[in-house]
């Protein structure tokens, strides 16, 4: 095992896949000479050159379209959006072309493409740069949606996404790039898509958290154990679509209580879908209503104190666990 940041784990995954498969290439704004806006592609242009690490103009619709065409021709593009907020400009290519091409071509064209970049809030980047967009893309058949929360997950899931023959939306949390953790040193280390991970075992309450809220959920679990002798299980879906509802439901059947913590807004969210599927699969096991923690239903404020107030927090998650445990 090697300790590295999420940023470095993603960089290692990209480098290993560029070496492994000559059809893999990276394209996006400032990914080459500048080493990437968040330095995820650091050093790759110098090692692999202009044809494998390609700088683009500021034209998301354009380079997303080039990526879709390249995937149709047999290449495996990794398209970086400087922030996933900018992917909205390329939504036609992602939703109407990448997601639908296999179906509309009668199975003639696979689209092995990864759209990746930072998702969710950062530090005071205001409303237009602070959106968690996973529910938007998960709504469309044909797209897989992945959200890692640890360096090991980031590396293993990105490698699997690049090798997948379907379009994958790979969402990295902007404030988590510097998070450190142990990563297997095996160059062929992968994590299959569609498999959740139990980050902490527990018996009294389940927290389902993803990306931004996973470290918060783990801190909340520690507080509940120390201060209230409540054993909390933390489940990270890792892949939003396909969703491993079996692991989540089995956890709820064990603990009988569920809190869902997510960075996105609550209306029509992934948390809402998880709630519904848990009710379908584990309703008789619930001893309390499901409680959801989400970002405030408002555009993200610029002021730091208001931004903190709008986002999920350890304190909000602890309060929710206490509520479902009737404490």
pLDDT classification of 134: cutoffs 50, 70, 90: very high
CATH number at residue 283: 3.40.50.920
User: How far apart (Å, rounded) are the C-alpha atoms in residues 159 and 12?
Assistant: 10
User: How far apart (Å, rounded) are the C-alpha atoms in residues 307 and 125?
Assistant: 10
Q: Which own/partner pairs from 217-222 qualify as long-range (CB within 8 Å, at least 24 positions apart)? A: 217/261, 217/317, 219/314, 220/314, 220/317, 220/318, 220/321
Tally of domains within the chain: 2
pLDDT digits 0-9 by tens, 258-315? 999 999 999 999 999 999 999 999 999 999 999 999 999 999 999 999 999 999 999 9
DSSP state of 272: H
The position carrying tokens 């998650």 is: 317
pLDDT digits 0-9 by tens, 30-66? 999 999 999 999 999 999 999 999 999 999 999 999 9
Instruction: Give pLDDT, residue 174.
Output: 93
Identify which has the larger pLDDT, 127 or 195: 195
Q: Which of 29, 60, 134, 307 is catalytic?
A: 60
Q: Which of 17, 80, 97, 129 is catalytic?
A: 129
pLDDT digits 0-9 by tens, 144-189? 999 999 999 999 999 999 999 999 999 999 999 999 999 998 889 9
Q: Return all residues near 8 (Cβ < 8 A) that are at least 6 apart.
A: 151
pLDDT digits 0-9 by tens, 76-96? 999 999 999 999 999 999 999
Mark whether 60 is an active-site residue: yes
- Answering whether pTM is above 0.95, one says yes
Domain-terminating residue out of 151, 183, 215: 183
Are both 156 and 302 inside the same structural domain? no
In a domain, 190, yes or no: no
Q: Which domain holds residue 298?
A: 197-324
Domain-terminating residue out of 183, 208, 235: 183
Are both 53 and 137 inside the same structural domain? yes
User: How far apart (Å, rounded) are the C-alpha atoms in residues 84 and 131?
Assistant: 8
Q: Kindly give the interhelix angle for 314-324 and 213-228, rounded to the nearest 10 degrees.
A: 50
Nearest CA to 180 among 42, 35, 2?
Answer: 2
Mark whether 129 is an active-site residue: yes
Q: Are 232 and 317 in contact (CB under 8 A)?
A: no
Nearest CA to 290 among 314, 256, 265, 315?
Answer: 256
In a domain, 296, yes or no: yes
Classify residue 275 as left (phi > 0), alpha (psi -120 to 50) or beta: alpha
Are both 255 and 144 inside the same structural domain? no
Are both 217 and 269 inside the same structural domain? yes
């Amino acid at each position: 095992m090697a300790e590295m940041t999420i940023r470095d784990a993603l960089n290692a995954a990209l480098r290993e896949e560029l070496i492994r498969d000559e059809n893999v290439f990276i394209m996006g704004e400032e990914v080459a000479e500048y080493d990437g806006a968040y330095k995820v592609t650091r050093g790759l242009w110098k090692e692999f050159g202009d044809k494998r690490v390609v700088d683009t103009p500021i034209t998301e619709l354009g380079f997303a379209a080039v990526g879709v065409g390249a995937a149709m021709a047999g290449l495996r593009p990794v398209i970086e959006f400087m922030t996933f907020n900018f992917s909205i400009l390329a939504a036609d290519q992602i939703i109407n072309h990448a997601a639908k091409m296999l179906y509309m071509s009668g199975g003639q064209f696979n689209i092995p493409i990864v759209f990746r970049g930072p998702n969710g809030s950062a530090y005071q980047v205001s409303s237009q740069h602070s959106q968690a967009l996973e529910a938007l893309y998960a709504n469309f058949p044909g797209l897989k949606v992945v959200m890692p929360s640890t360096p090991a997950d980031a590396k293993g899931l990105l490698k699997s996404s690049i090798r997948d023959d379907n379009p994958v939306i790979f969402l990295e949390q902007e404030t988590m790039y510097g998070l450190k953790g142990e990563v297997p040193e095996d160059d062929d280390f992968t994590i299959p898509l569609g498999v959740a991970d139990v980050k902490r075992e527990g018996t009294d309450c389940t927290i389902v958290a993803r990306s931004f809220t996973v470290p918060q959920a783990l801190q909340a679990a520690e507080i509940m154990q120390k201060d209230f002798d409540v054993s909390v299980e933390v489940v990270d879906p890792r892949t939003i679509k396909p969703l491993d509802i079996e692991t989540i439901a089995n956890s709820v059947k064990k603990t009988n209580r569920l809190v869902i913590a997510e960075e996105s807004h609550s209306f029509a969210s992934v948390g809402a879908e998880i709630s519904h599927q848990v009710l379908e699969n584990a309703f008789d096991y619930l001893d309390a209503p499901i409680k959801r923690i989400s970002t405030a239903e408002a555009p993200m404020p610029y002021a730091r104190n208001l931004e903190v107030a709008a986002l999920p927090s350890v304190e909000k998650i602890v309060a929710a666990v206490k509520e479902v445990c009737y404490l």
